[in-house]
Amino acid sequence: MSSVPVRTRVKICGLSREQDVDAAVEAGADAIGLVLYPKSPRYVSAARAAELARRLPPFVTPVLLFVNETLDSVRAACEQVPGATLQFHGDETPAFCRQAAGARPWMRAARIPLDAAQPFDLLKFASDFSEAQALLLDAHVEGYGGAGRTFPWSRLPTSASCHAVLSGGLTPANVADGIVQVRPRFRTLAVDVSSGVEASKGVKDAAKIHQFVAAVRAADEHLARSSHVRLPAA
């Protein structure tokens, strides 16, 4: 929606190893995602999430991902990871998200159907979850999480007043195209990657993380040149 390009924030999700956290930080990621969903191959316990989060320098945000977790479990995890943003990726209601997060910022995943015949009203969803810091846009597949699938970006509304995080099947090869296509539709846009920077399921590839962040920065520079606006230094 804004004609002035901004620096695209980057979240590397599904981290479970110290070296992957360090690689994300070195590459310039703004946030790391820690999956507290036991059925995920990238699952970490709250205690393990706390260990990994303690490696982060200032201004890199840990994000705790929950799927249909209990209120007590969310609150217990939050106590172990101070300063975390919460991401609700299941069927959580606005009231649950609000109650579980308390004063913490939180995001809600909007699972976009791959089939155009399946309706999804993102504007209504954004209204329902208006207290979220952002909506995370992911592909709706069986189970929870995008499973590395890219949904049709053309299905997104042309104008939405919320902050958004583009996810689902992003890689170093397609993230720039995603930013160019999706950013004009939202108030701001960040990007979130997991399987697209992995060597194998749950194991990140440091080179791919660096390539992904470099592709994001290249997209920012392209949009800055296109609009004749100089980006601030990262």
Q: Which domains does the chain have, with CATH numbers?
A: 10-227 (3.20.20.70)
The helix/strand/coil state of 191 is strand
Record the pTM.
0.92
Residue 119 has pLDDT above 50, yes or no: yes
Amino acid (one-letter) located at 110: A
User: Pairing mode, if any, of strands 163-166 and 188-193?
Assistant: parallel
Q: Can you tell me the distance from the alpha carbon of 97 to that of 105, in angstroms, rounded to the nearest whole number?
A: 10
pLDDT in tens, 174-206: 999 999 999 999 999 999 999 999 999 999 999
Q: Residues 170, 196: contact at Cβ < 8 Å?
A: yes
Residue 91 has pLDDT above 80, yes or no: yes
* Positions marked catalytic: 13, 138
Could you count the other beta carbons within 10 Å of the beta carbon of residue 122? Answer: 19
Tokens of 138: 């992911």
Q: Which whole number is the average pLDDT over 105-127?
A: 90
Q: Which whole number is the average pLDDT over 45-65?
A: 98
Q: Can you tell me the distance from the alpha carbon of 234 to that of 227, in angstroms, rounded to the nearest whole number?
A: 18
pLDDT in tens, 5-28: 579 999 999 999 999 999 999 999
Residue 229 has pLDDT above 50, yes or no: no
Band of residue 108 on the pLDDT scale cut at 50, 70, 90: very high
CB burial of 21-49 (b: ≥16 within 10 Å; e: otherwise) equals: bebbbebebbbbbbbbbeebebbbebeeb
Q: Which of 140, 136, 141, 103 is nearest to 33 (CA)?
A: 136
45-49, 60-64, 153-157, 193-197, range with the lowest pLDDT: 153-157
